[in-house]
């Protein structure tokens, strides 16, 4: 059976890393681990593309096209002829999924 | 010449930027009721607390500062975890949305955090210039930017507020405090909202199917929806394969088998009609359950956009084909019955 979740848009450039370890603190899926000289990319396929590591890397050693992995949001966007990639979950005006007043279904664990 | 406005209008309209709300760590019955309604999607936008600065206990300039969202479930998780401590809580305006979702949208973000730090004059209240931000706020918050713009250094706390007492002993999070899993309890808590969204279309479809094809078929429609919204979240890690759609196809096929059997055995049909009657639920039910399963991706804690997009292109055409051919066969059976062929 095919696995759709083996590849992501995460890119890591270890030569730029200054070993501040912020990526290991913000990643919710242990994608990065601490190393002696620089962070190590240990579980790339576990990346959910939340974008926390790239946003908190002070030297741009990480790149990722962040977004929400929500089929509902993407299918609704596609059906309305909007861009699947610029769509976010939830019910704000301006998001392409405005009709579902349901921001919480996405990732409501807290 | 433009008239010079005084910096303070003092007419009562200006919000008191220094107003500090007092709060305790106690969760009352009213809070629990509010949480219950939030879990059922009732008054979706209404579970909010006022953004701004809160005083928990008797904080002094050395007490820690915690950032939170103005969603009652987020705020209450934080304050109840800090019960008995003296702390400041800075609530950002996330439009009543939890920390992680709001961070993904950017409302729990660098701009809002800097704005709140300034509007409550946090630098004049505390001596340490540190703020503890929940780890799941990180998709919206950039610590170098906060430092540059406000002088505050961001410390990322644990994922779960309940780990805060342990975290505060050493100010470091263990790897397990940093990891988001998706245990049964967290999956089941989402079922009410999933159900609320599915129940109206489900009732309508079941009613139509009841009129056209009878009670067993209507029950099959209800079962396919319940499988996708209740059974699927519960069984997620136990169903074979990795993709949500294939998991949904498997679950949908399993629950379709009894319906296929009972529908086919009901009457004294010719063999070809019995086979077709059995095939219809085997085509439609897996498609419905798989579609609902795919839609559960947005509620999980781990699916990437790249992966979900791949699933959509790979499996939605299959779902449409299955449901379409099943419906066509169902109509064929109906016509045959009406015209007296069977």
Among A28, A65, A100, beta carbon nearest to B136: A28
Weakly modelled stretches of chain B, pLDDT under 50: 1-16
Question: Can you state the angle between helices B271-295 and B305-338, rounded to 10 degrees?
Answer: 150
Per-residue pLDDT reduced to its tens digit, B275-288: 999 999 999 999 99
Query: Would you tell me which CATH number, out of the four given (3.30.420.40, 3.30.70.360, 3.30.70.20, 3.40.190.10), belongs to the domain A11-63?
Result: 3.30.70.20
In-domain check, residue B148:
yes
Whole-number Cα distances in Å, A69 to A91, B5, B181, B302: 16, 49, 16, 8
Same domain, B211 and B334: yes
Angstroms from A30 CA to nearest CA on chain B: 7
Mean pLDDT of the A22-43 span: 96
DSSP reduced 3-state for B140: coil
Domain count, chain B: 2
Cβ neighbours of A9 in B, within 8 Å: 306
Same domain, B227 and B146: no
Cβ(B41)–Cβ(A104) below 8 Å: yes
Cβ(B307)–Cβ(B262) below 8 Å: no
Beta strands in chain A (DSSP E): 11-12, 32-33, 40-41, 62-63
In-domain check, residue B142:
yes
Cβ neighbours of B34 in A, within 8 Å: none
ipTM of the complex: 0.87
In-domain check, residue B4:
no
Q: Do A29 and B44 touch (CB under 8 A)?
A: no
In-domain check, residue B138:
yes
Residue A82 banded pLDDT, cuts 50, 70, 90: confident
Residues of chain A with CATH 3.30.70.20: 11-63
Q: Residue A89: is its pLDDT beyond 60?
A: no
pLDDT reported for residue B340: 81
Same domain, B192 and B269: yes
What distance in Å separates the CA atoms of residue B291 and residue B315, rounded to the nearest whole number?
A: 9
Beta strands in B221-262 (DSSP E): none
Residue of chain A whose Cα is closest to the Cα of B172: A25
What distance in Å separates the CA atoms of residue B188 and residue B200, rounded to the nearest whole number?
A: 20
| Strand B52-56 relative to strand B20-23, pairing | parallel
Residue A80 banded pLDDT, cuts 50, 70, 90: confident
Residues 66-85 of A with CB under 8 A from B: 66-75, 78, 84-85
| Strand B52-56 relative to strand A40-41, pairing | unpaired
Half-sphere exposure of B69 (CA within 13 A, CB side): 33
| CATH code for the domain of B120 | 3.40.50.11600
DSSP reduced 3-state for A28: coil
Q: Do B302 and A74 touch (CB under 8 A)?
A: no
| Domain span including residue B26 | 20-180
Mean pLDDT of the residues in chain A: 82
pLDDT reported for residue B139: 97
Q: Do B242 and A4 touch (CB under 8 A)?
A: yes
Cβ neighbours of A8 in B, within 8 Å: 304, 306-307
Give the count of beta carbons closer than 10 Å to the beta carbon of residue B179. Answer: 17
User: A65 at the B interface (CB within 8 A)?
Assistant: yes
Residue A68 banded pLDDT, cuts 50, 70, 90: confident
């Amino acid at each position: 059976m095919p696995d759709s979740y083996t590849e992501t848009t995460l890119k890591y450039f270890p030569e730029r890393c200054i070993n501040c370890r912020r990526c290991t603190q913000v990643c919710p899926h242990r994608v990065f681990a601490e190393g002696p000289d620089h962070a190590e990319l240990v579980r790339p396929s576990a990346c959910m593309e939340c974008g926390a590591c790239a946003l908190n890397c002070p030297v741009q050693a990480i790149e990722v096209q962040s977004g929400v992995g929500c089929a509902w949001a993407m299918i609704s966007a596609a059906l309305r002829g909007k861009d699947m990639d610029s769509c976010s979950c939830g019910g704000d005006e301006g998001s392409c999924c405005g009709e579902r007043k349901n921001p919480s279904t996405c990732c409501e664990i807290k | 010449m433009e008239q010079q406005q005084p910096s303070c209008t003092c007419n009562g309209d200006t919000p008191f930027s220094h107003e500090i709300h007092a709060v305790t760590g106690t969760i009352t019955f009213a809070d629990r009721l509010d949480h219950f309604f939030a879990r059922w999607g009732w008054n979706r936008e209404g579970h909010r607390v006022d953004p701004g600065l809160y005083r928990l206990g008797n904080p002094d300039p050395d007490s820690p500062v915690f950032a939170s969202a103005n969603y009652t479930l987020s705020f209450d998780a934080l304050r109840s975890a800090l019960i008995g401590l003296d702390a400041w809580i800075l609530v950002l305006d996330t439009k009543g949305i939890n920390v992680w979702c709001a961070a993904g949208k950017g409302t729990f973000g660098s701009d809002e955090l800097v704005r709140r730090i300034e509007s409550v004059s946090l630098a004049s209240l505390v001596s340490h210039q540190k703020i503890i931000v929940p780890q799941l706020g990180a998709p919206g918050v950039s610590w170098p930017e906060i430092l540059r713009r406000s002088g505050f250094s961001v410390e990322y706390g644990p994922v779960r507020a309940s780990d805060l007492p342990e975290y505060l002993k050493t100010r470091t999070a263990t790897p397990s405090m940093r990891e988001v899993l998706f245990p049964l309890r967290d999956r089941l808590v989402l079922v009410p909202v999933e159900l609320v969204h599915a129940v109206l279309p489900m009732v309508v479809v079941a009613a139509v199917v009841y009129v056209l094809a009878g009670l067993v078929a209507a029950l099959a429609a209800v079962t396919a929806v319940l499988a996708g919204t209740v059974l699927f979240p519960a069984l997620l890690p136990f169903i074979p394969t990795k993709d949500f759609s294939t998991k949904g196809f498997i679950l949908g096929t399993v629950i379709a088998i009894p319906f296929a059997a009972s529908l086919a055995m009901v009457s004294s049909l010719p063999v070809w009609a019995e086979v077709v009657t059995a095939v219809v639920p085997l085509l439609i039910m897996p498609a419905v359950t798989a579609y609902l399963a795919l839609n559960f991706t947005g509620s999980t804690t781990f699916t990437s956009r790249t992966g979900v997009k791949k699933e959509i292109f790979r499996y939605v055409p299959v779902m449409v084909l299955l449901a379409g051919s099943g419906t066509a066969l169902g109509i064929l059976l109906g016509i045959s019955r009406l015209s007296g062929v069977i």
